[in-house]
Structure formats: C-alpha cells, structure tokens
Amino acid sequence: MLKCPLIAACPPRRSFAWSTLALAGLVVWAGGIGSVSAQTKSTTGAIYTCTDGSGKRVTSDRLIAECLDREQRVLNKDGSQRMVIPPRMSPEERAAVEARKRERALAEAAQKDAIRRDRNLLMRYPDEAAHNKARQAAMDDLHKGIALSDKRLEELRAERKPLDAETEFYKGKRLPGKLRTQIEASDAQQQAQRDIIQQQRTEMVRLNALYDAELARLRKMWTGVAPGTVPVASVPSAPAGVIRPVSSSAAR
C-alpha cells in the first residue's frame, strides 16, 4: 500500500545536493545578519571634531592627526559633547606645566606647614603672660652662660699673672719655649671666652627680635585671625657656634 496515494499531494523528494545548497544559503544569510549587526555597532562610537590650521572643520571616528596641536571635541551620536581632548604639548610646554604643578605643591605644603606651626604656637602660648615667661627663661639661660664665661675669664686672668711676672726676668731676651707656649695658651683661652660672651650677647639680640615678631603674630591670632594667614617676619640667624638655651622657644 502506498503511503502517499495522491502523488500531487506528496512533497517532492529532496536530494542531498539540494539540502546542502539550502544549508549554505542559510549560513550566508546568517553571516549577512552578523555583518549588518557589526556595522551597526561600529556606528555607535564617538565622533571627533576639530578645526585644523587652515580653518577647515574636520570630523572623524578617531583621533584626528591634523589637530594634535589643537583642541579636539569628542561627541556622542546625538551630537552632545562627551569630552574635550586638549592639544598635545611640546617638551617645553610640558616642562612648564610640570614646573607650575611643583610650585603649587610647594605652596600648598608651605601653607599647611604655616597652619600647623601657628596652631602649635597657640597651644604653647595661650596668652601673653605665657609668652613673656618663655622669653624671660631664654634670657635667663643666656645671662647664666655669660656669667659663667665672665667667671672663667677672671680665672684665666688670675692664672696669667704669674706668667706675666716671669716674663719680667726676660726683658730684652728671648722667652723660653715652655713659657712662651703657656702664654700663648692663656691668650687663646681668654679669647675663646670673650668670643663665647659675644656670641651669647648676639644671641640675646636675635632671640628678642624673634620673640617680638612672634608676639606680634600671636596678638593677631589671639584676636581671631586664622592660623597660617599671618606673615612671618624675618629674624637674624643664630651666630655660628652659639649654644642655644634649652628652654628657649627659638629652637622650635
């Protein structure tokens, strides 16, 4: 018995070649759909636009080589601006920008240091009485140092008298080597003490100037001026070799 009695109603038999051809067509169709999809995706990227050196407006889907030395705008598909790309800088321009950045960083660090220093100053000296007390303590230390040097100088002068008396025996003659060495050592020791006294007196002048400048700043901050905004007056540096008093606020 035939499965399909009506030949016209039976579907035609598909040969293997026909099936292969149909499959190939399906693959081509799918590839075409993928290509269209890829093309659609490529159009969703950014749009670069600029005005070149001749005044002509240039648009591209990538960074424009003719406008590397000038500003380029990056647009979305709807024409809205996404970002602005600054022009590429020359080595000299880049160095200048870096120098300005370093200057700003140094200025910011200096400002922070000034604020921290002034806050510490306010904590150390909440009022003028505390500041005056610190000044007096520093001056007392220096006075003590001068007094010790004066005492030592008097001792050296007393020690020198026998040596001077001994030289009376050698008037018009060459002094013995030992006596000459002792006199030279005495002279050097006395001069050292005189130098110390002079350094301490110079330090007193310097410290008083520092305390005066410091007090002027404190008075402004005690009235409400913000820390870090009061200029710091320059004061002389400490003389070489001077020993600063331990209790002095100048060592901060």
Give me the pLDDT at residue 240, please: 55
| Boundaries of domain holding 184 | 108-251
Q: Which residues contact 158 (CB under 8 A, 6 or more apart)?
A: none
Q: How far is CA 236 from the centre of its chain?
A: 26
Three-state SS for 89-136 is CCHHHHHHHHHHHHHHHHHHHHHHHHHHHHHHHHHHCCCHHHHHHHHH
Chain segment 37-51, per-residue pLDDT in tens: 333 333 457 899 999
pLDDT band at 6 (very low <50, low <70, confident <90, very high): very low
Chain segment 185-220, per-residue pLDDT in tens: 999 999 999 999 999 999 999 999 999 999 999 999
How much is the CA Rg of the chain, to the nearest whole Å?
47
Share of the chain above pLDDT 70, in %: 75
- Flag whether 32 is in a domain: no
- Flag whether 4 is in a domain: no
Length of the chain counted residue by residue: 252
| Residue 132: Cβ within 10 Å count | 13
pLDDT band at 238 (very low <50, low <70, confident <90, very high): low
- Flag whether 145 is in a domain: yes
pLDDT band at 235 (very low <50, low <70, confident <90, very high): low
Query: What mean pLDDT value characterizes the chain?
Result: 81
Chain segment 85-135, per-residue pLDDT in tens: 998 888 788 888 899 999 999 999 999 999 999 999 999 999 999 999 999
Give me the pLDDT at residue 27, please: 39
- Flag whether 9 is in a domain: no
More confident residue, 250 or 151: 151
> For the chain, how many structural domains are there in total?
1
**∠ CA(221), CA(222), CA(226), 5° rounding?**
30
Which pTM does this prediction carry? 0.55
- Flag whether 41 is in a domain: no
- Flag whether 29 is in a domain: no
How far apart are alpha carbons 102 and 118 in whole angstroms?
Answer: 24
Structure tokens that stand for 113 in this block: 């240091």
- Flag whether 245 is in a domain: yes
- Flag whether 124 is in a domain: yes
